[in-house]
Amino acid sequence: MSRGYIIPIGGAIDKVQDPAILKRFVKLCGGKNARIAVIPTASSERSTGQTYEEIFLEFGVLRSVVLPFESRADCAREDWLAILEESDGVFLTGGNQLRLSTTLGGTPAAKLLRIKNQNGLHVAGSSAGAAFLSEHMIAFGDEGSTPRHGMVALAPGLGLTNRIIVDQHFRQRDRLGRLLTALAYNPFAIGVGLDENTAAFIDGDENVEVVGTGGLTIVDPSNIEYTSADLAFSAQKGEPVSLLGVRLHILVRGDRYNLHTRVAEPALKHSEQR
């Protein structure tokens, strides 16, 4: 089977007026036959999981269940792992991504999510959940458009893909600088900056399609000619980082990007092909 979709979402999802992102997720998971597990571990609000559980049930899915992993011991519970095993989709809510990495990291639940995603399970994450999906996760950082030494802290994420580093609430919280700083440390990955109510639907062939009302910023560092990030040990915290040769795209609803070929295409091109 091909890998399931990986779906980072920029946060602040429209759940009522235009829930296009959640409806697209449900459709991918099987519509009325979908079995969805909600993981609210990142959130400090106990109602978060129940809110999404009820939304998915209102969309008519077959099953929507909250798995409130609160401790590492919870992540080894056989009854909850069985629910993950039978699910068509998993949704990780927003909150604090370090709660996700410290609670799920290295547990049977995290291992099962990686295995199942490789075999067709669709995994979506909003805000903190989005940051956690990839191998390299932005744990926290400062706002601002200019990359600066010490601006961002990275931590291991869930590891569904190593091709991207995700940042969320991107335009709303002015996070270009910290994403650029993260990429200066690791120019292999592609930066994905997601505005609120905006999602990147990434299929098993590494095709990205934008769904939602905001923009998706792609930062491609593959042709970087020079960066001063290696001077971090001698530089003062807050000093600007030089990055030469970075390529940037802004994608909106329907636009596409391939993480393998690193080619962007407008939505208009796809409509003409149809």
CATH of the domain at 145: 3.40.50.880
Active-site hit among 87, 149, 169, 206? 169
Any catalytic annotation for residue 196? yes
Q: How many domains does the chain have?
A: 1
Asked if the structure places residue 253 within a domain, the reply is yes
User: Alpha-carbon distance 65 to 271, whole Å?
Assistant: 37
Residue 1 lies inside a defined structural domain of this protein: no
- Give the per-residue pLDDT at 39: 98
Contacts with 39 (C-beta within 8 Å, 6 or more apart), sequence order: 49, 66, 67, 68, 69, 90, 91, 92, 93, 104, 129
Q: Flag whether 89 is in a domain.
A: yes
Strand partners for 8: 125
Residue 251 domain-assigned? Answer: yes
CA 83, 88, 68, 78: dihedral to nearest 10 degrees? 20
Residue 209 lies in a domain: yes
Of the listed 134, 136, 196, 206, which one is catalytic?
A: 196
Residue 215 domain flag: yes
The SS3 assignment for 251 reads: strand
**pLDDT of 46:** 87
- Is 172 within the bounds of a domain? yes
Instruction: Report the C-alpha gap between 38 and 98 in whole angstroms.
Output: 18
pLDDT of residue 270: 59
Q: Which of 43, 127, 206, 209 is catalytic?
A: 127
Q: Is 44 a catalytic residue?
A: no
Walk along the chain (274 residues) and give the pLDDT tens digit of each residue. 699 999 999 999 999 999 999 999 999 999 999 999 999 999 999 899 999 999 999 999 999 999 999 999 999 999 999 999 999 999 999 999 999 999 999 999 999 999 999 999 999 999 999 999 999 999 999 999 999 999 999 999 999 999 999 999 999 999 999 999 999 988 999 999 999 999 999 999 999 999 999 999 999 999 999 999 888 677 788 999 999 999 999 999 999 999 999 999 999 865 555 4
Q: For position 216, what pLDDT does the model report?
A: 98
What range defines the domain where residue 182 resides?
6-273
CA dihedral 224, 228, 233, 239 (to 10 degrees): -120
Which three-class secondary structure state does DSSP give residue 91? strand
In a domain, 118, yes or no: yes
